[in-house]
Copies of this chain bind each other. A is one copy, B any other.
């Protein structure tokens, strides 16, 4: 009975129209496990960092109940580092620097204590590494969620399609859904992608919300209109973390419950973008989260009694 999270734990340097940071903590698994930890406390991470990584951040994860037995700490090596600069619209960004460091020869190992996990979150990472993790699991999790990005579609589509064939829920953004399917209409794109393996598809549209599809149903979750999006880094990871954390907490993977999970995921993403990096995801109270979710409820609630 646990949630296994695979993904990067890393450093980022970020520039947005509102400011810039030095090296701060980032990485898909960092955001995912932080966001999920507000709902669920049996979280296990498989990842890799260098000796230079922030001990403070690892302490924070542990305090949130995240198990780090599967986090490899490479002596004398440096953590994965990404630097990027967002355009004024915050929807596009340029990569300024990528230093793979420990990620270059990362060989993920799932500890014995992590076996029999019920929920698996494959955070954005090389598809070949995601496949390696899947191959090590002795029992298939109840639910496998995959997050990926256009980068892997460009350079590792065959591997990525192998992963996609093995999962239950895929989360990608709208342009990635179009790239993966070759369809401009998101409805048609969803129909094609659902034939590639996953039973459920989430198309993230950033400030425009998210769509949840299965073969027969569709649900739309709005994004909260914010005065300012300060730094979009990690929004998708936080969304995925809130989503799977809520599902793990409630032990219910029905479409109805996924609707709720998407709202919780959207709420976690709405926190993340308010400050740089993981800062806003640290130290939230239960009341903070519920208040935010209530804002989503208020935002879309209407009553139409059709006769």
Contacts and interface: CB of A to CB of B under 8 A. Distances in A.
A300 to B, nearest CB: 5
A258 to B, nearest CB: 10
A220 B304 contact: no
A252 interface: no
A249 to B, nearest CB: 13
A116 B247 CA distance: 56
A227 B303 CA distance: 26
Nearest to A259: B302
A297 interface: yes
Given A187-B225, A188-B228, 18 more contacts: A88-B184, A185-B229, A186-B225, A187-B226, A209-B220, A209-B222, A211-B225, A218-B225, A218-B299, A219-B299, A222-B222, A260-B302, A263-B302, A263-B304, A293-B304, A293-B306, A294-B306, A297-B306
A184 B222 contact: no
Chain A interface size range: 35 or more
26 contacts: A185-B227, A185-B229, A186-B225, A187-B225, A187-B226, A188-B227, A188-B228, A208-B208, A208-B209, A211-B225, A218-B299, A219-B299, A220-B222, A220-B299, A220-B300, A221-B300, A221-B302, A222-B222, A222-B300, A259-B302, A260-B303, A263-B302, A263-B304, A290-B306, A294-B306, A297-B306
Contacts of A306: 290, 293-294, 297
A281 B85 CA distance: 46
Contacts of A56: none
A123 to B, nearest CB: 25
A307 B289 CA distance: 12
B184 A219 contact: no
A89 interface: yes
- The winner among A208, A302, A307 for most chain B CB atoms within 10 A is A302
